[in-house]
Every structure is written in C-alpha cells, then in structure tokens.
Chains A and B, each alone.
Chain A
Amino acid sequence: MEMTRREMIRQSGKFLLLTSAAATALEYVLAGKAEASPNYDITKHWWAMIIDVDKCIGCGNCVRACATENDVPEGFFRTWIERYHVEGWDSAHPEVDSPNGGFDGFADDHKSGKNFFIPKICNHCADSPCTQVCPVGATFTTPDGVVLVDEKYCLGCRYCIQACPYGCRFLNPKKNTADKCTLCYHRITQGLTTACCEACPTQARVLADLKNPKDPIHEFLRTNDVQVLKPHMATGAKVFYKNLDGAVR
C-alpha cells in the first residue's frame, strides 16, 4: 500500500490519540448532517428581493412574521420598517423613526411634509463587507447568494456587526453569536417564500431568484426606477427598491 508521508502522519497520529473506534466514528461526525432537500440544487439559484416602496403601508406584518418564524429575540430585528419624514426642501436631514422596529405599526402621524415607509432587511450583498471581516469563517455567502452565520463557529467578536453598512446584524443575547436575516433559508430551499414576503399584505416585498430566467425580477429591473441602498459602498446589495426617495439612508 502506497502512502504519502502526510497521510502516514495523519493516520498514525489519529490512531495514536484516539481509540480505533473513536477514530472511525469521527469520519461520520465530521461529514455533518445530510438533511439537504434532494430537490434543491444550490447552483441553480441566486436569491434577491424586490421592495416596492409605494406599496408599503407600515403595518408591521413582516416584522411580526419574521419574529415568529425565526424566534428573533424581543427588541431585536432581522427586518424592520422605518418611517421617513421630510419637511420642505431639506431631504438631506430626514427625520427617521422606527418604534419597536415597526412591530406594532405606526400609531402617531405627521401632519405635514412628505412621509413614507421604508422596509429594511439584510441586502444579502454579493460583495458583503460583513463576511470579509469574520476572523473565523463563521459568516459566509452561500453559493445561492444568501449571507448566513455559522452559530457553532461564531465567537461573538462583533466585527461583522460593525462592518455592515446597513445595520442589519446584532448580537443574539441568548446565544452570544452574530444574528441576522437568513432570507428564511429553511423556507426558500423548500420552495416557499420568506415569512416576511408571505405575510406582506400588499406585495411590497417579493422574493426573487436572479438565476431563474422566468422570475418577474428581470422585467422589474428592466422597466422600473430601481436602486439599492448605499450604492456608493459597492456592496453588491441584492435588495432592489423601486422608486426609492433620495432622502433614504
């Protein structure tokens, strides 16, 4: 039997440190769970989201649905709604509020100026700053374009939370690991839409698959005024806003 020196060292080392039974079992433990849905081809999707600002009514259904679906701890948000208030010409200084992330809706009202709602969510950037700064490979972009956190690897160092220009991450107070929108990865890989899109009563947000040639997003991008948040940061954001006001940060 031929064996390279490296293999020899690996094998002998493994059997030196572990009993032979443990060494054999280790193979299966390390292989990880094989729960992947057999019908889902990770190479055939590239997930994104459409947000039609003119349809958002600030009802908070998305925020509540996300909290229910993902057990988001109270006071933290994987998606939230902001209300913008622009008085007169001064769109450089909008007044922005988001009481409890819009979880309970918006009870009070501005009597003047321009007012509108902006739903916010992780942009699942193609060139995400958050994944680049992780020192332990705990946050990453999946081949189908979703930015996820590996809870078992995350140290809770918070680099990614500072790196995200959109403020989409937080430290989960129960797990002490970085937490963020998973784009309902457990749902979209099974053919369902995200919880927020499912619960949105006006289709202000719609899940989109950029690799699916039949997805309405291609027509949407071609025929509308579309913008991403903070385009100057070149993050490759994949949440596309229709008719986004210049005051939005």
Chain B
Amino acid sequence: MKDLLRNAEHLVRVVVLLALGATAFLVIRHAVVPRDFGKYGHFRPGSMDDVRSRPIKFAGHETCEACHSDQAEAKSKGKHANVACEACHGALAKHAEDPSAVTPKLPDTAVLCVRCHEANSAKPKNFPQVVSAEHSAGMPCNTCHKPHSPRIESEK
C-alpha cells in the first residue's frame, strides 16, 4: 500500500508537468496565432490587407483624362485611342495626386515609338511596323506624326 502511494506521487508529478506543458502550449498558441486565422482558409486574412496597403504608381487613364480632357479628345479620334496615357508617359500617380509636385517629362519619340513600331517578324502581321533606320533615319517621329493621333493629315 505504501509503495502504491509513493508511485502515485510520481504520477502526480508527471501529470502536473504535462498539464503545465499543455497550458504553456495553449497560451503561446493563443498569443501567436491571429484570432481570425482560418476565416477564409488556412491563412492569415490580415495579409490580404498587407498586400493591399502597397501604394499605387499607375494612376489609370481615367484619372489622367479627368484633367487632360483636351489630349484625351485628340487621342480618341486617332489610332492610339485605346493606348492608355501611362503606356507612353510612364507611371504618374504622384503627378495625379499633386500636379505641381511631379512634372512629367515629355518622352523622346525617337526612343519611345520604336519600342512598339520597330519591325520584327514576331509581331502580328497587321500591326503597323517600320524599319526606323530606313523610315526616318533617326529623325524624331514627332517631326511628322503627332503621337496622340499619328496619321499624317495630308495622307487622309
């Protein structure tokens, strides 16, 4: 009987240790795992907000057109009607937020236009392409073409 009691004492120690371990586990788990973990699946919903908190660099052509309606009007009649403003002018959300803070630089047409229009056999056949060296011999494209409505008036 005495032996049994002494053995039980060992058991109690083990049980207490296990209970303490389990408590520590639960407490740490509770502290470390966000409350809403698993709301939509096995992930932390807060990370969606982390991704969404990134600043926007491209304002979007609707934003540009809100102020530059004259340019939008000119563009809407030409071949470049569906080319968004920032496709050529670059990301300008900062300019849209505060027009005086960032003044956009006018792109160099000799560099800009050939990005799309330099002839390449991998480009779609119906896409207008030129070999710039033969076509204009390095002259800036806007000498003849208006970028917003590139067709030359006399050719119409």
Point out residues on A near B: beta carbons under 8 Å.
6, 9-10, 13-14, 16-18, 26-27, 30-37, 42, 54-61, 65, 68-70, 83-85, 105-106, 109-111, 115-117, 137-143, 148-153, 182, 185-187, 189-190, 192-193, 195, 198-203
Distance of B47 from chain A, by nearest CB (Å): 4
User: Number of contacting residues on B, CB 8 A?
Assistant: 50
**Cα separation A84 to B88 with both chains bound (whole Å):** 26
Query: In chain B between 27 and 82, which residues have their CB closer than 8 angstroms to a CB of chain A?
Result: 27, 30-31, 34-37, 40-58, 60-61, 80, 82
Q: How many angstroms between the C-alpha atoms of A190 and B122 in the bound complex?
A: 35
Q: B-side interface residues toward A, CB under 8 Å? A: 23-24, 26-27, 30-31, 34-37, 40-58, 60-61, 80, 82-84, 86-88, 90-91, 115-116, 118-124, 127
**Taking CB as reference atom, which chain B residue is nearest A27?**
B35
When the two chains form their complex, are residues A198 and B87 in contact, meaning their CB atoms are under 8 A apart?
A: yes
Cβ contact of B127, chosen from A57, A141, A190, cutoff 8 A: A57
Q: Which of B54, B84, B115 contacts A186 (CB 8 A)?
A: B54
Are B43 and A198 closer than 8 Å at their CB atoms?
no
For the A-B complex with A151-B50, A152-B47, A186-B52 known, give 7 more contacts whose Cβ atoms are closer than 8 Å.
A10-B30, A18-B31, A37-B52, A105-B115, A137-B42, A142-B48, A199-B84
For B122, give its contact among A13, A17, A115, A140 (CB under 8 Å).
A115
**Cross-chain contact A200 with B44 (CB below 8 angstroms):** no
Q: Is the CB of A33 within 8 A of B49?
A: yes
User: Contacting A69 at CB < 8 Å: which of B42, B57, B120?
Assistant: B57
- Check B52–A189 contact: CB distance below 8 A: yes
Give Cα A55 to B83, complex, Å: 13
Chain B interface helix/strand/loop/mixed: loop
Question: A10 contacts B26, CB within 8 Å?
Answer: yes
Answer whether A111 and B41 are a contact pair too, CB < 8 Å, given A33-B53, A189-B52, A201-B83.
no
Contacts of B50 in A (CB 8 A): 33, 150-152
Q: Are A185's CB and B27's CB within 8 A?
A: no
Task: Tell me the complex Cα distance, A186–B52, Å.
Answer: 4
A185 touches B123 (CB 8 A): no
Residue of B nearest to A187 (CB): B56
Bound Cα distance from A142 to B50, whole angstroms: 13
Q: Which residues does chain B contribute within 8 Å of A200, judged by CB atoms?
A: 84, 87
Please determine whether A148 and B122 come into contact, CB atoms closer than 8 angstroms.
Answer: no
Q: Are A151 and B86 in contact (CB under 8 A)?
A: no
- How far does the Cβ of B87 sit from chain A's closest Cβ, in whole Å? 5
Shortest CB-to-CB span from A216 to chain B, Å, is 14
Set B27, B51, B87: member contacting A61, Cβ < 8 A: B87
Residues of B near A137 (CB, < 8 A) are: 37, 42-44
Q: B56–A186 contact, CB under 8 A?
A: yes
**Residue contact B30 to A58, C-beta cutoff 8 Å:** no
> Of A30, A37, A111, which is within 8 A of B35 by CB?
A30
